[in-house]
Amino acid sequence: QNAGEAETITLTNIKNPVISGTTGTYTIKTTTNGNVDIDQDTAVAADTITAASLASTNVQPASLKVSTTGNVTVFFTTSNPLPADGKIKITFPNSLGAGFILSGIGNSDASSTDISGTEWATVSGQVLTITRSGGLILAAGSLVDDLVIANIKNPDVVGSTGTYTIQTTDATDVVIDEDTAVLADTTTAGALTATNVQPASLTAGVTGNVTVTFTLEHALPATGKILVTFPAG
């Protein structure tokens, strides 16, 4: 080729790194047939690898009743291998202003038969990190459908939880696979029991007192309300 000519070469069957982040700089050289350097650039601009997608994702509380503490099961299928010392991070939403409470989670409250070794749970804010140890690499395309975390408290109010995030990372927290929009859940109201609405008089047209009785399943805030809907008439 002549000096000054622009050249483009396509290389096939090259696999990207399996973690996200900068590739680092490349080097391009031209040489003689005897590998003597002619031209070179040893600092060709780096690229940035993006995280691959997790498939079949779900974060499912065993109960969706407000203020209930219980198990949550996490589901996902890997696109890339999860290292033996890798991590799984689940971000619980706080869209209701009174989000999931993770402070009750203990270090040994995460377990899965789909993931070999031991799972160690830690919490920072709304992020639950599960760190692996003593197991084998989890291969690309592996389905995890029994990762159970105990002692997670549901939001205290009814409504959409907002979306969750699930990420797999290496030991240094570099993201491998992720889904940042895992389907939201909708919390449901608790049940009042021993309920009654009793007028003091049941004579037509009489004005008087009505006594309302009920037993709470969950605490009523000091600034909360009690709503009683009377039937027509």
pLDDT at position 6 over 80? yes
Residue with tokens 């079949």: 56
CA distances 169 to 3, 105, 123, Å, are: 46, 21, 16
Buried residues in 189-212 as b, exposed as e (16+ CB within 10 A): eeeeeeeeeeeeeeeeeeeeeeee
**What residues pair up with 178 in beta bridges, in sequence order?**
53, 167
pLDDT at position 33 over 70? yes
**In this prediction, what percent of the chain has a pLDDT beyond 70?**
99
What are the pLDDT digits (tens) for 64-119? Answer: 999 999 999 999 999 999 999 999 999 999 875 678 999 999 999 999 999 999 99
pLDDT of residue 97: 65
Cβ neighbors of 109 (< 8 A, separation 6 or more) are 121, 149, 150, 151
Nearest of 62, 85, 93 to residue 180 by alpha carbon: 93
For range 155-170, the mean pLDDT: 93
Q: Is the pTM of this model over 0.85?
A: no
Q: Which token pair is 87?
A: 């991590």
Q: What is the mean pLDDT of the chain?
A: 93
What are the pLDDT digits (tens) for 181-214? Answer: 999 999 999 999 999 999 999 999 999 999 999 9
